[in-house]
Amino acid sequence: MKRSLGIYAINLDRSQERWQALAEAFSPLPYPLKRVPALDARLQPQAVLDIRGLSIVLPPAGLGYSMVRGREYLLVQEACFASHIVALRCFLSGGHELALILEDDAVPGPRTGPVLEALGGLDAPFDIVRLEAIRLSGSRPAVKVAALGAETLVRSLKPSSGSAAYVVTRRAAERLIAAAGRNLMPFDDYLANPSLHGCDVCYVSPLPIRQADAPSVIAESYERGRLRRQSGLVPFLRQAQVRGRLRLGLWAWALRGGGMPRNYRW
């Protein structure tokens, strides 16, 4: 029996044009679409911090250093993380069995509908299925999990940036919320690494949804080259240890079914 699915789209109140474009693009799909007001780092700084109990420790807008990247982690990045938590809570407050969580720059391709239909009726269990990722290359090493009609469900051996579109089960939403803690990292780093939250992370190959070409609100908010970085041997070794542990965890999750990796289209 097919599982019910709802679409939850994260959107800033001051970005109504993005919501209109997204609603026009996704409304033809046979699933209810709900707008989730994003937390605004500019207008609601304390509300952003309160979601995970964080604080500014590197004024004017730094919460500390990213445990994965070693760069200053900004309030605007935490606003994105916190908004995903809000969207997951919104999903859990309703009755749907699955949720498609969207950022407001998500653009569906022609295969989005068939992929969602296939996921709703999939017999193989899953926790999180990513339908979008930053395409740094044409293919990535991955292990096949299941067939999805013209697409393939895979576990990637390399983490992929991006969190503009992913399908999540109720169990996985609960785990993502419970395991978020106070670790400082962009939400897409958190989502991509199963050892951080204990959820199985799969991808659809090829990816049916992409991000719009327009700059994101986060990207427009700061210059990466101006972010403060931790210096010295100890922070360098600590970051290397974290990245190594996360990569080994990713490989362990990807290979646990015993399949052989090969390159899949991204």
Distances (CA, A) of 15 to 21, 64, 102, 221: 10, 28, 14, 14
Cα gap 66→257, rounded to integer Å:
31
pLDDT at 220: 62
Tell me: the pLDDT tens digits for 108-122?
999 999 999 999 999
Burial class (CB within 10 angstroms; exposed 0-12, middle 13-18, buried 19+) of 142: buried
Comparing 28 with 139, which gets the higher pLDDT? 28
Q: If pLDDT is split at 50, 70 and 90, which confidence band does 218 have?
A: low
Contact (CB, 8 A) for 140 and 204: no
Please state the three-class secondary structure of 211-261 as a single string: ECCCCCCCHHHCCHHHCCECCCHHHHHHHHHHHHHHHHHHHHHHHCCCCCC
- Say how many domains are in the chain: 1
Query: For the residues 213-218, what does the mean pLDDT come to?
Result: 70
Contact (CB, 8 A) for 73 and 65: yes
pLDDT at 256: 86
- CA torsion 188→192→197→201, rounded to 10°? 130
Name the amino acid, one letter, at 154.
Answer: V
> Does the pLDDT of residue 219 top 80, yes or no?
no
Q: Could you tell me if residue 85 is left (phi over 0), alpha (psi between -120 and 50 degrees) or otherwise beta?
A: alpha
Helices (H) then strands (E): counts for the chain: 8, 13
The proportion of the chain whose per-residue pLDDT surpasses 70, expressed as a percent, equals 95
For residue 236, what is the domain's CATH number?
3.90.550
CA nearest neighbour of 103 among 2, 194, 25 = 25
Which pTM was predicted?
Answer: 0.94
Contact (CB, 8 A) for 100 and 131: yes
Tell me: the pLDDT tens digits for 227-251?
888 878 887 888 888 888 989 989 9
Cα gap 202→152, rounded to integer Å:
10
Which structural domain range is residue 243 located in? 5-265
